[in-house]
């Protein structure tokens, strides 16, 4: 299957094909919902999405590896080395590095003319994770999320294609990346605390009498305190509004890309439904969308994706 995707994408160099294959494996192993949605794209689009995911995961792994032997200074050095290698490869037009994620993402970025500053912004937010563990207000969190989430949507936009000027679709693409990450912050609050981080605005939590100590108590006791629940309900509503805004941008994408984005938005926003259904007990269980539901959404998306591609070929 991956061979036919690479053929459709015009990737014939054996080393480059292997790099894309590795990125696809990373996506399949770690991005269940994202990988399913990627399957709804046209075959020639899929390798680029795998490459972008693989690179983002490569950087994220530097930060979130639980190995206590690796110090923050060592992680900073690894991240800087990755950034240096990336921009050297982008300037050269190819990559001789052994890291397959670099070879694939460089090829992808140059093919789709993805602005290099988006990668710089992404790596900038990754550097923040080395030293920043709390965000005092929404503005500070938004600055972090621009580089860590919104730019992912902007990187994907040239691959997805638009029916009008890309700059008109860009705010919605950025909002979708932001919505996905806000969902992660709510679902993974317990896991983030284990890493010493809180990705919720401190002033908005404080309005409900919540601080890091209260969140830590919830984690240690595997229960959601009443005031924490009220704070999470507010964050949940904010996340919903971001999804509502992002959904309006789907119509600005090329028809063949809409089923993919619709499926991803549907499944990820339904994590919010699960959080609500478990009454915000995010310290004792992980909210997730069941396999059956993912299959149903994916199946519907496949039919719509096939029809959209068929119409494209007829035009």
The per-residue pLDDT for range 220-241, each reduced to its tens digit, is 999 999 999 999 999 999 999 9
Do 124 and 175 belong to one domain?
Answer: no
Q: Which of 131, 148, 174 is the last residue of a domain?
A: 131
- Report if residue 165 sits inside a domain: yes
Of 34-43, 76-85, 198-207, the poorest mean pLDDT is in: 34-43
Of 52-56, 62-66, 136-140, the poorest mean pLDDT is in: 62-66
Percent of the chain with pLDDT over 90: 74
Q: Identify the pLDDT of residue 314.
A: 44
Do 19 and 109 belong to one domain?
Answer: yes
- Report if residue 119 sits inside a domain: yes
Evaluate if residue 86 carries a pLDDT over 90: yes
Evaluate if residue 98 carries a pLDDT over 80: no
Of 60-69, 122-131, 136-145, 278-287, the poorest mean pLDDT is in: 60-69
Percent of the chain with pLDDT over 70: 94
Q: Identify the pLDDT of residue 228.
A: 98
Q: What is the mean pLDDT of residues 42-48?
A: 94
Q: What is the mean pLDDT of residues 31-41?
A: 84
Do 168 and 118 belong to one domain?
Answer: no
- Report if residue 201 sits inside a domain: yes
Pick the more confident residue, 207 or 35: 207
Record the pTM.
0.92
- Report if residue 155 sits inside a domain: no
Q: Identify the pLDDT of residue 227.
A: 97
Computed over every residue of the chain, the mean pLDDT equals 91
Of 24-28, 150-154, 160-164, the poorest mean pLDDT is in: 24-28
CATH label of the domain that carries residue 22: 1.10.600.10
Evaluate if residue 26 carries a pLDDT over 50: yes
Evaluate if residue 255 carries a pLDDT over 90: yes
Evaluate if residue 1 carries a pLDDT over 70: no
Q: Identify the pLDDT of residue 306.
A: 61
Q: Identify the pLDDT of residue 253.
A: 97
- Report if residue 167 sits inside a domain: yes
- Report if residue 137 sits inside a domain: no
- Report if residue 154 sits inside a domain: no
What tokens appear for 91 in the block?
A: 């300037």
Task: Report the number of distinct structural domains present in the chain.
Answer: 2
Do 309 and 236 belong to one domain?
Answer: yes
Q: What is the mean pLDDT of residues 62-89?
A: 86
Do 1 and 122 belong to one domain?
Answer: yes
Do 16 and 125 belong to one domain?
Answer: yes
Evaluate if residue 313 carries a pLDDT over 70: no
Q: Identify the pLDDT of residue 22.
A: 93
- Report if residue 150 sits inside a domain: no
Pick the more confident residue, 68 or 73: 73
Domain that holds residue 69: 1-131
Do 78 and 188 belong to one domain?
Answer: no
The DSSP line for the chain is -HHHHHHHTT---HHHHHHHHHHHHHHHHH-HHHHHHHTTS-TTTHHHHHHHHHHHHHHHHHHH---TTS-HHHHHHHHHHHHHHHHHHHHHTS--SS-HHHHHHHHHHHHTT--HHHHHHHHHHHHHHHH---BSSHHHHHHHHIIIIIHHHHHHHHHH-BSS-HHHHHHHHHHHHHHHHHHHHHHTHHHHHHTT---SBHHHHHTTT--HHHHHHHHHHTS--HHHHHHHHHHHHHHHHHHHHHHTTGGGB-GGGHHHHHHHHHHHHHHHHHHHHTTT-TTTS-----HHHHHHHHHHHHHHHHHHHHHHHH-
pLDDT band at 312 (very low <50, low <70, confident <90, very high): low
pLDDT band at 315 (very low <50, low <70, confident <90, very high): very low
pLDDT band at 152 (very low <50, low <70, confident <90, very high): very high
Evaluate if residue 271 carries a pLDDT over 60: yes
Q: Identify the pLDDT of residue 101.
A: 87
Q: Are 59 and 32 in contact (CB under 8 A)?
A: no
Of 45-59, 83-97, 157-171, the poorest mean pLDDT is in: 83-97
Q: Are 240 and 272 in contact (CB under 8 A)?
A: yes
């Amino acid at each position: 299957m991956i061979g036919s995707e690479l053929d459709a994408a015009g990737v014939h160099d054996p080393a480059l094909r292997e790099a894309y294959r590795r990125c696809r494996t990373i996506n399949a192993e770690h991005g269940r919902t994202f990988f399913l949605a990627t399957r709804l794209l046209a075959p020639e689009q899929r390798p680029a999405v795998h490459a972008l995911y693989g690179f983002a995961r490569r950087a994220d792994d530097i930060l979130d590896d639980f190995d206590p032997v690796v110090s923050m200074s060592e992680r900073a050095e690894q991240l800087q080395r990755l950034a240096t290698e990336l921009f050297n490869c982008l300037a050269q037009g190819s990559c001789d590095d052994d890291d397959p994620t670099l070879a694939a993402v460089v090829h992808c970025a140059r093919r789709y003319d993805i602005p290099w500053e988006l990668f710089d912004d992404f790596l900038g937010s990754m550097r923040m994770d080395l030293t920043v563990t709390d965000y005092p207000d929404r503005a500070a969190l938004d600055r972090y999320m621009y580089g860590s989430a919104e730019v992912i949507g902007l990187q994907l936009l040239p691959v997805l294609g638009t029916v009008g000027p890309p700059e008109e679709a860009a705010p919605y693409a950025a909002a979708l990346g932001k919505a996905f990450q806000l969902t992660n912050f709510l679902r993974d609050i317990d896991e983030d605390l284990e890493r010493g981080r809180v990705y919720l605005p401190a002033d908005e939590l404080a309005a409900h009498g919540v601080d890091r100590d209260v969140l830590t108590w919830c984690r240690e006791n595997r229960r959601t305190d009443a005031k924490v629940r009220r704070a999470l309900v507010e964050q949940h509503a904010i996340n919903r509004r971001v999804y509502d805004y992002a959904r309006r941008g789907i119509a600005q994408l090329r028809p063949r890309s809409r089923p993919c984005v619709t499926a991803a938005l549907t499944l990820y926003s339904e994590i919010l439904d699960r959080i609500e259904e478990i009454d915000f007990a995010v310290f004792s269980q992980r909210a997730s969308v069941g396999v059956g539901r993912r299959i149903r959404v994916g199946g519907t998306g496949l039919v719509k994706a096939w029809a959209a591609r068929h119409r494209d070929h007829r035009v």
